[in-house]
Amino acid sequence: MPAITKLDAVNQCLAAINEYRVSALDTGGTSIQAEAERYVDDATRYFCGLGFPSNTVRSKAYTPAAGTFEINLGTSIVRAKGAGPDQHRNLVMRGTKVWDADKGQFSMGNTNPVYLDVAELLDFADLDPFEREQVAQHAAQKFARRTTGSQL
């Protein structure tokens, strides 16, 4: 069975509220399928944050910036934690920077490399086929609950 597309995921969302299938995405629009696509995008971000093997880089070295000793991960990283020689440290993301929760600061103290396991935000099409199914089911359930007024 081939992997589902983003359009298939949007159609699963629409089917969950008894709407007809569509033949194209309406990215950024105001239609019901555009709203369903936003739910697919939100579910994609959520599942990427869980850190599946397909979107996680293990023990990646980051060098803190000189002067501030901070690490800015950018917007493509959705989760980070200490790894390798730094796995004992309680390092997490705050915004786009690495936060040392043990010390309560962004500064890593020096420019020595810091090792992190990082989960990257992927496009729906780049997800593992199993993850695409999970994203589609999660998005459809949430879309149906919110669209039909369920309090769940």
Render pLDDT for 67-124 as a digit per residue (tens, 0 to 9).
Answer: 999 999 999 999 999 999 999 999 999 999 999 999 999 999 899 999 999 999 999 9
Q: Which two tokens stand for residue 99?
A: 């936060």
HSE, side-chain direction, 13 A CA sphere, residue 46: 14
Grade residue 150 by pLDDT with cuts at 50, 70 and 90. low
Average pLDDT over residues 118-145: 94
pTM for the model stands at: 0.84
Smallest CA-to-CA distance from 4 within 137, 111, 103, 101 is with 137
